[in-house]
Homo-oligomer: A and B are copies of this chain.
Amino acid sequence: MSTAHGARARARIEVTAAIKEEARRQLAAEGAAKLSLRAVARELGMASSALYRYFPSRDDLLTALIIDAYDSVGEAAEAADTAAADAGPVQRWTSVCEAVREWALAHPHEYALIYGSPVPGYTAPDTTVPAAARVGLVLIGIVRDARLGPGLALPALPAELHPEAERMAADFASDLPPAVAPALVAAWAQLFGLIGFELFGQFHRVVEDRAAFFRHAAGQLALGVGLR
C-alpha cells in the first residue's frame, strides 16, 4: 500500500506532505482552532473536497500534526541529551528540560496542541502514543545512566504507593529501583506544568527572569528524582 510503484503514488506522498506543511504553517500562525481545511486547500490551489482524499477529516489532519509535534519536541530533547552526554546527571537533566522549554517557546501552538487542552472535543488516538513517549524516554535514560554511575538518592515512598511503583517500574524502568518511577513520572508532569504556565501566560507579572527561574526549577526537579 505505502511504497507503490507508479508516479501516482509518488504524487500522493508529495501532496500529503504539502498539505501537512501548509497546515503546519497555519497552525504556527493562528493556532489549532483556526486551522481550516478550506484555507489549506485554497492556499494549495486545490478544491477543498479534494483534500479529503488525503485526510478523511480535520481531526485526522490534526492527528498527523500532533504526531509530528511529539516527534519534533522528542528530537529536540534527544539532541540536547546527546549534546550534554559528558556532563553530570543534573546538568544533563537540566539541559534536556531547557531544550523542551525552548522548543515550546519556539512552537507555542504545537505545544498547545500536544500538552495543552485537547483540541475541541477531540481525543487523541493510540497512534500518537509512541511519539508522545519520546521526551519521557530521554528523562528515563538520564536517570538510568546516573544509577549506573554515582547512584541515586531517593526520598522514601509511602507504603500505599509501593504496588503502583512496582507496576510502573516493570512497565518502563525495569532496571531501576521501583521507588524512582513515581518520582520520575511526577517530575515529568511537573516539567510540563512549569512550561505550560510560562507559555500560557500564568507567569505574567509573576516571573520576570523566566529562563533563570526555569533553570533553577528544573534543577530542583532533578534532585527530586534522586540525581546529584
Interface of A with B (CB < 8 Å)? 30-34, 112-113, 115-121, 123-124, 129, 132, 155, 157-158, 160-161, 163-164, 167-168, 171-172, 182-183, 185-186, 188-194, 196-198, 200-209, 212-213, 216-217, 220, 223-224
Decide: A117 near B116, CB < 8 A? Known: A189-B202, A190-B190, A216-B158: yes
Q: Are B117 and A186 in contact (CB under 8 A)?
A: no
Docked Cα-Cα span, A198 to B192, in Å, equals: 12
Q: A33-B120, A161-B213, A212-B164 are in contact. Are A194 and B201 (CB under 8 A)?
A: no
A132 touches B202 (CB 8 A): yes
Complex CA distance for A160 and B217, rounded to whole angstroms: 13
Residues of B within 8 A of A171 (CB): 205-206
What number of copies of this chain does the assembly contain?
A: 2
B196 near A161 (CB under 8 angstroms)?
no
In the complex, which residue of chain B has the Cβ closest to the Cβ of A155? B220
A121 and B33 within 8 A (CB): yes
Asked whether A31 and B121 contact (CB < 8 A) given A213-B164, A216-B161, the answer is yes
23 examples of A-B residue contacts, CB within 8 angstroms: A33-B119, A33-B121, A34-B120, A115-B196, A115-B200, A118-B201, A123-B201, A155-B220, A161-B216, A164-B208, A164-B212, A164-B213, A168-B206, A168-B207, A182-B217, A183-B220, A185-B203, A186-B213, A189-B190, A189-B203, A192-B193, A193-B196, A220-B224
Would you call A121 and B34 a contact (CB within 8 A)?
yes
Assess A189 versus B182: contact at CB under 8 Å? Given A33-B119, A121-B31, A208-B167.
Answer: no
C-alpha gap A208/B143 in the complex (Å): 22
Cα-based distance from A120 to B33 in the complex (angstroms): 5
Find out whether the CB atom of B201 lies under 8 angstroms from the CB atom of A124: yes
**Contact residue among B115, B183, B197, B212 (Cβ-Cβ distance under 8 Å from A161):** B212
Given A30-B121, A129-B205, A193-B196, 11 other A-B contacts at CB below 8 A?
A: A33-B120, A33-B121, A116-B117, A123-B201, A124-B201, A129-B204, A164-B209, A183-B220, A185-B213, A189-B198, A192-B197
